[in-house]
Amino acid sequence: MYKIGLFTDVHGNDLALKLILKEIEKYNVDEIISLGDLIAIGPNSNEVLDIVTKLNNFSSIRGNHEKYYLFGFSNPLSCTESTHQDWVKESINPHHQSFIEGTRYQINKTIEGVKLCFMHYPLRSTEPVHYEYIVHNPEASDLDNLFKDVDADVICYGHEHISSFIKGKKLYLDVGSCGCPYPEKDITRGLILIIDNGKVEYIPLKLTYNSVEVVKDMYRKEMPERDFISKNFYLYKK
């Protein structure tokens, strides 16, 4: 039996990350994989990196926000979005740069004959790197099309922030955001993937918590876009 603890889209929310890691710990997993976007949106990207870089048997996929950190933000939706990304970059201790550089767009593994693929979201181009546009509320046929080029039995991904577990030609597990959930607020999500004698099982994790300290940190640190982000992603109102 092989167990993998998964989370994605932590987005600078160290409180949610600590909660989900504590839950994952109960399952005695063989390894932990982050599916990308550890940083940005939330106030504590550096603290998140401090935590994950100390984990054993841990690897991380590169999300669009790690891509922005490394290569810049080519077409921001607004100038405040750019200001937010610049602030995130400045908030991260430069010693974390090599960890972010070591993230990969995709990890493939074969466990007990089952082909697994871990990614943030499929890429529509590799040079330069662009992620596919998000398909909201996907049906199995949408995901069959989106992941048609991925050679795997099980695909674990994130990016949309909403969790879904859909069987099409492959099994598609959207873990749902750990630190910036949608549509529900003040929950954190993760997933335990179990391969047992070639059989695939999964246990979605979902915990509720109080985001007050996360929102307070946004204001204490004067994070750009704090009004928009706290209003849309967290229950606590300053």
**Residues lying near Fe ion in the complex (CB under 5 A):** 9, 37
Q: Which amino acid is at 23?
A: E
Q: Which residue is nearest to Fe ion (CB)?
A: 37
Assigned token pair, 53: 């870089």
Query: Closer CB to Fe ion, residue 23 or residue 37?
Result: 37
Q: CA-to-CA distance for 128 and 74, rounded, in angstroms?
A: 11
Nearest in space to 103 (alpha carbons), one of 12, 37, 24, 172: 37
CB of 159 to Fe ion, least distance (A): 6
Query: Closer CB to Fe ion, residue 37 or residue 217?
Result: 37
CB of 63 to Fe ion, least distance (A): 6
CB of 121 to Fe ion, least distance (A): 9
CB of 66 to Fe ion, least distance (A): 10
Query: Closer CB to Fe ion, residue 100 or residue 195?
Result: 100
Query: Closer CB to Fe ion, residue 23 or residue 174?
Result: 174
**Residue 105: partners with Cβ closer than 8 Å, 6 or more residues away:** 61, 62, 119, 120, 123, 129
Q: Which amino acid is at 229?
A: I
Query: Closer CB to Fe ion, residue 115 or residue 206?
Result: 206
Helices (H), the chain: 14-25, 45-52, 64-71, 79-91, 97-101, 140-146, 212-220, 226-233
End-to-end CA distance of the chain: 46
CB of 34 to Fe ion, least distance (A): 11
Q: Coil, helix or strand for 37? A: coil
